[in-house]
Amino acid sequence: MAFTTLILDAPGPPLLFEEVDRFLELGLVVTLNLYYFTDKNSIRKHYGERIRYTEINGHDRQAFIDAVTEAGGYSVFKTRLNIPIESKLIRAAASPTLPTPLRAIAQAGSGVNHIDRQEAERCGVTILNTPASNAVAVAEYVVAQTLCLSRDLDHYNAETHSGRWSKGTLAPGLEFCELTLGVVGTGSIAQEVARKAGSLGIRVIATGSERFTEQVARSLGLERRETLEQLLGEADVVSIHVPLTPLTRGLFGLTEFRQMRQGSILINTARGDIVDEAQLASFMTAFPRHIKAVAIDTFAQEKDRFNSPLAGIRNAQLTPHIAGNTTKAIRKASRQIVDKIHALSLATDVH
């Protein structure tokens, strides 16, 4: 039985070529999904018969299942763009009736909320990911948004392009040494945000789970706040860095928006469902001066299904899940996940 990897999505060339070349260097069999690429012919021409090809819309669950079944299955699904890997798909792909049942789902990135982890465990499917591979990139996005939004740069840019000399129309911005950044969550990305912000003179406070004790906070060089409410009442900028769990789903709603300081900024690079987008849109419309601005990079509905009530809301800067989208971060995550797939293939051969 061959050990085969279905690359559901990948960065465009030349990063695509680096990833596929790494698979081939390690002697792995690869099927590349061309559905999300515009220049399919050039990719086929580049690799010829050295790899296999398919075209699957990962968001069409039944078509996805049919394609996997018709192909006889794959050992690994490799993804990076949070394509939903749901229970029905996992059961079908891991079926022992397939010549090549699914052994693993490999995410080039840290978040695995798009994968039904309970179903994967029931089916004996391993979940691989690359924690912290994009920590620096996401942290730089947070710091960049902090600078841009705290100084109203988007506003002044739009005004100047419209021919209006608007200096003096808004209150002067704060310097970094006057800002307090509240970090919600204390994982690798949050720690990187704190390091970068702190190096610029920004005061950083943080709140986390019960494991984030005073002793842990001191070891990380962070000022601990026991509750989210305490942090929100003190922070000029709030940046979210918690995983999506039953406890964090809807963590930010009307109550939390009211608790934020007047004129504060909210940044979310974690997961969309942590912030209630509809309630945030309603709050910013009803109280336009309470939250100065938001930068939202993750949404409840993304890619083909993107439909956010925040679209069109004044002072809401929306980006399509690109906080971790730097060449270095993509390259790092890609290499790490390919190496993990290779290690799994060796372990499979042993057993």
In tens, the pLDDT along 277-311 reads 999 999 999 999 999 999 999 999 988 789 999 99
Residue 270 has pLDDT above 90, yes or no: yes
Catalytic residue among 302, 305, 331, 351: 302
- Give the pLDDT mean for 23-42: 96
Statement to judge: residues 93 and 139 lie in one domain: no
Residues 308, 181 share a domain? yes
> At 92, which CATH number?
3.40.50.720
Instruction: Note if 321 is an active site residue.
Output: yes
Please pick, among 22, 241, 321, 342, the residue that the annotation labels catalytic.
321
Query: For residue 176, what is the DSSP state?
Result: G
302 in active site = yes
Q: How confident is the model at residue 349 (pLDDT cuts 50, 70, 90)?
A: low
Q: How many CB atoms lie within 10 A of CB 277?
A: 24
Considering the domain architecture, whether residues 28 and 169 belong to the same structural domain is answered as no
Measured in degrees and rounded to the nearest 5, phi and psi for residue 238 equal -115, 125
pLDDT of residue 42: 96
Are both 269 and 161 inside the same structural domain? Answer: yes
Q: Would you call 119 exposed, middle or buried from its count of C-beta atoms within 10 A (0-12, 13-18, 19+)?
A: middle
351 has pLDDT over 70: no
* One domain for residues 145 and 287: yes
Q: Is 110 in the same domain as 144?
A: no
Domain count for the chain, please give it: 2
In this structure, are 108 and 250 located in the same domain? no
Do residue 183 and residue 293 come from a single domain?
yes
Q: Tell whether the model's pLDDT for residue 316 goes beyond 60.
A: yes
**How far apart (Å, rounded) are the C-alpha atoms in residues 325 and 336?**
16
What average pLDDT does the segment 233-242 reach?
A: 98
Catalytic one of 22, 80, 261, 271 = 271
Least confidently predicted of 12-26, 288-302, 336-350: 336-350
Residues 119 and 157 in one domain: no
What's the domain range around 232?
Answer: 135-318
